[in-house]
Structure 1
Amino acid sequence: MINETVGIIGGTGWLGGSIAKAVLAKGLVPSGNLVISNRSGNHPLVQQGASLVTDNQDLVDRSDIVIIAVRPEQFASLNINATGKTVISLMAGITAQAIAAQSLASAVVRAMPNAAVEIEQSFTPWYCSGGVAATTKILVQRLFECVGTAAEVQEEDFIDYLSALSGTGPAFPALLMMALAHQAMLAGIPDDIAQLAAKNVVVNSSQLLANRDAQQMIDALVAYRGVTAAALQAMSQGPFEEQIGRALQAGAAVARKGLQA
């Protein structure tokens, strides 16, 4: 349990709310040390002891660490003064320099969770800019471990690239599942069976990778020289990996460009 007061701007939204709920459930932050803001001034987390405010500057003034969990386009209108505070940004495409310049924060952490925070299975890379104390880094790591796994990266550009990789959350698996199901339906498989088969591959069977090396699993399956080997060979002959690379670069380009479009 930490003694600092943590404030979450946007703490009742999907992302901020999931984090707020997790840190309370896992006892990382005492309920009295969590401040969240929203416009309505009403939220169930208040029943667990969290403080709820309607004014973002009030939240900043009461907090040691401020988490900004709003959409990037909303940042310009926050108008907060976080002098002497550490700000943790969950916004894609807004640089640490821009955040520090507008908020006057003494240190900025950029982090990129994904939709799996909802089930506490997100991977969250994070980057520190400015004088972030070692104790604060430990807090950041523990905070994001409440909603999955996390790792510090040493270059800010990595956050932009990972926004297009891990930050996409279930988007790529969802696309794969749709493609598998669609191809099965084109082959005449009934829609419901095609959907079940595709979901099993993406959601259920992929859990085998949790504790296994992906390349070793591929090599073992190819070694059988059967159906799976034929399918993998056909896929490797096409531009599959190149398409993945283009997708990641396209997403990263948008993240790097930020709100300057």
Structure 2
Amino acid sequence: MQDKHIGFIGAGNMAKALIQGMVQSGQFAPAHIRFNDKLQSEHHPLEIAGQSIVSMDKEGLVTWSDVLVLAVKPQDLFNLLREVDPLATERKLFISIAAGIDIAGLTKSLSVAHPVVRAMPNTSARVLASATALTGNAAVTPGDMALAERIFQCVGAVVQVEESQMPGVTGLSGSGPAYVYAFLRAMIEGGVSLGLSHDTASQLAIQTLRGAVEMAAASEDDLDTLIRQICSPNGTTLAGMKVLETRHFQEHVMEAIQASAQRSEELRRELQADIRE
């Protein structure tokens, strides 16, 4: 992996998180990572994880790179591809992290049959704990996908999915951190309503959530079993669980995930309406 030249177009939070993870992992040499960003001077490197990542002009970056990570806003992606396409005369692996742009739209925007991987990480990449899903076009080889996986494994867990499953990924893991934060906020406010200080309630709620997630990941028991293990007959947890069931907690969370997935499909159609036929 050390010999691949990896160029980032766009240097926002997600790109910086990826570069940080790649550098800290030791699997990618900082000298083999470069970037271009319209808001960053070409003469000022990014200082990430104690390393300087060099900026290049767009034309130079495209020529230099074996892998191009497209880390711009979705509404800017097609204009970027129109600029990049005539510069990418040799085979390159394109990786897009733009939400709502599918493989067909990305592939259609390139005149050469480049391998294209679509990635859906989430904001937890900033603490190297992302859940990322990848899918690729027909030109992607096992080696291409292995390289894409290695990049995103630097910021968390990675799975491969079919393109048709990407809306579900968006609803679940793409938007999921917001649902978790909302649940965490409710737990904290519940503790505060019973007389705990906000700081104490926050510490207890965050550690409770962290411990439960780690338990779910480590245990061989399914979630229903783990719930039953806490819910003693006529006990305190069962009283709380009955409230969640009465309020249709599970159904509401499922509906939120489905609504997010549906909106991702709507955005895909809106964003790709201007693709040249």
TM-score under structure 2 length normalisation: 0.83
> Any idea what SS the aligned residue of 1:130 has?
coil
- Partners of 1:135 and 1:35 lie apart in 2 by 22
Give 1:4's aligned residue.
Answer: 4
Alignment of 1:192-203 (within 5 A): 192-203=199-210
- Partners of 1:198 and 1:96 lie apart in 2 by 40
- Paired AA for residue 4 in structure 2: E
Give 2:84's aligned residue.
Answer: 80
Give 1:141's aligned residue.
Answer: 149
Give 2:41's aligned residue.
Answer: 40
Mapped contact 1:46–1:52 kept (Cα < 8 A): no
Greater shift, 125-134 or 36-45, is seen at 36-45
Mapped contact 1:87–1:108 kept (Cα < 8 A): yes
> Any idea what SS the aligned residue of 1:141 has?
helix
- Paired AA for residue 36 in structure 1: F
Please state if 1:65 is matched with 2:67: yes
Per the TM alignment, residue 215 of structure 1 is displaced from its structure 2 partner at its CA by 2.9
- Paired AA for residue 29 in structure 1: F
Give 2:167's aligned residue.
Answer: 160
> Any idea what SS the aligned residue of 1:100 has?
helix
Change (3 A) 1:99 1:236: same
- Paired AA for residue 44 in structure 1: E
Per the TM alignment, residue 90 of structure 1 is displaced from its structure 2 partner at its CA by 0.6
Per the TM alignment, residue 30 of structure 1 is displaced from its structure 2 partner at its CA by 2.1
Measured against aligned partners, the alpha-carbon deviations of 1:177-219 in whole angstroms (never above 9, x if no partner) come to 1222334444555544444443343345543333124333112
Measured against aligned partners, the alpha-carbon deviations of 1:75-133 in whole angstroms (never above 9, x if no partner) come to 13312114532211111101111112224451211111111111111111111112111
Change (3 A) 1:137 1:2: farther
Greater shift, 109-118 or 73-82, is seen at 73-82
Please state if 1:98 is matched with 2:105: yes
Change (3 A) 1:161 1:207: same
> Any idea what SS the aligned residue of 1:40 has?
coil
Change (3 A) 1:187 1:223: closer
Please state if 1:107 is matched with 2:115: yes
Mapped contact 1:164–1:251 kept (Cα < 8 A): yes
- Partners of 1:25 and 1:182 lie apart in 2 by 37
- Partners of 2:55 and 2:4 lie apart in 1 by 17
What do you get for the CA RMSD once the two structures are aligned? 2.4
> Any idea what SS the aligned residue of 2:157 has?
strand
Change (3 A) 1:222 1:34: same
Counterpart of 2:183 (choices 153, 163, 176) is 176
Mapped contact 1:15–1:117 kept (Cα < 8 A): yes
TM-score under structure 1 length normalisation: 0.88
- Paired AA for residue 253 in structure 2: I
- Partners of 1:47 and 1:234 lie apart in 2 by 50
Measured against aligned partners, the alpha-carbon deviations of 1:60-83 in whole angstroms (never above 9, x if no partner) come to 221111111122122133121145
Greater shift, 186-195 or 156-165, is seen at 186-195
The number of equivalent residue pairs is 258
Change (3 A) 1:243 1:49: same
- Partners of 1:64 and 1:169 lie apart in 2 by 32
Give the ranges of 4+ consecutive aligned residues of structure 1 lying more than 6 Å apart after TM superposition: none
Measured against aligned partners, the alpha-carbon deviations of 1:25-45 in whole angstroms (never above 9, x if no partner) come to 212222222121123222215
Query: What residue ranges of structure 2 are gaps of 5+ in the alignment?
Result: 272-277
Give 2:22's aligned residue.
Answer: 23
> Any idea what SS the aligned residue of 2:137 has?
strand
- Paired AA for residue 7 in structure 1: G
